[in-house]
């Protein structure tokens, strides 16, 4: 039987190479039917987004070249209904200040170190929301 969820893709943006590789590996195993794109900074992430228009973006906030919040604003200008899962080692102060004051909402915030089950649950919630939008 065909999967009821249309083809979905995820963009993973993380500047720490070891974390990027680990997350990409576990996400590919957990969600084998999802196309996964990876980038090591916000600038590359934005370019990949423009090429592939993924449904979900999992991103770090503090990165070289372009941070996650700046990248998110540019992505939302292209596709406003993009789901965002934010990964951060910061206890939330800078994320909420960077995004909240400008009226920008993220779908999920996940503290580092990332617990795979928490990330999986956030992605599953995003996938459910996408499926609902497409039905």
pLDDT digits (tens, 9 = 90+) for 23-58: 999 999 999 999 999 999 999 999 999 999 999 999
pLDDT at 8 exceeding the cut of 60: yes
pLDDT greater at residue 4 or residue 37: 37
pLDDT at 101 exceeding the cut of 60: no
Contact 61, 98 (CB under 8 A): yes
The domain spanning residue 53 has which CATH number?
Answer: 3.40.50.2300
The pLDDT-based confidence of 67 (bands split at 50, 70, 90) is very high
In the three-class reduction of DSSP (H, G, I as helix; E, B as strand; rest coil), residue 37 is classed as: strand
Which structural domain range is residue 15 located in? 9-26+37-133
CA dihedral 117, 37, 75, 83 (to 10 degrees): -30
Contact 59, 71 (CB under 8 A): yes
The encoded tokens of residue 74 equal 């540019």
Reported pTM: 0.88
In a domain, 70, yes or no: yes
């Amino acid at each position: 039987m065909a999967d009821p969820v249309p083809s979905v893709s995820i963009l993973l943006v993380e500047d720490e190479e070891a974390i990027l590789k680990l997350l990409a590996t576990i996400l590919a195993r957990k969600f084998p039917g999802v196309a996964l794109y990876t980038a090591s900074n916000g600038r590359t992430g934005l370019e990949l987004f423009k090429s592939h228009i993924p449904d979900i973006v999992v991103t770090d906030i503090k990165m070289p070249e372009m941070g996650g919040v700046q990248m998110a604003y540019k992505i939302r200008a292209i596709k406003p209904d993009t789901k965002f899962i934010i990964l951060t080692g910061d206890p939330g102060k800078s994320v909420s200040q960077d995004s909240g004051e400008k009226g920008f909402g993220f779908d999920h915030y996940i503290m580092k170190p990332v617990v795979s089950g928490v990330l999986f649950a956030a992605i599953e919630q995003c996938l459910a929301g996408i499926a609902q939008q497409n039905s």
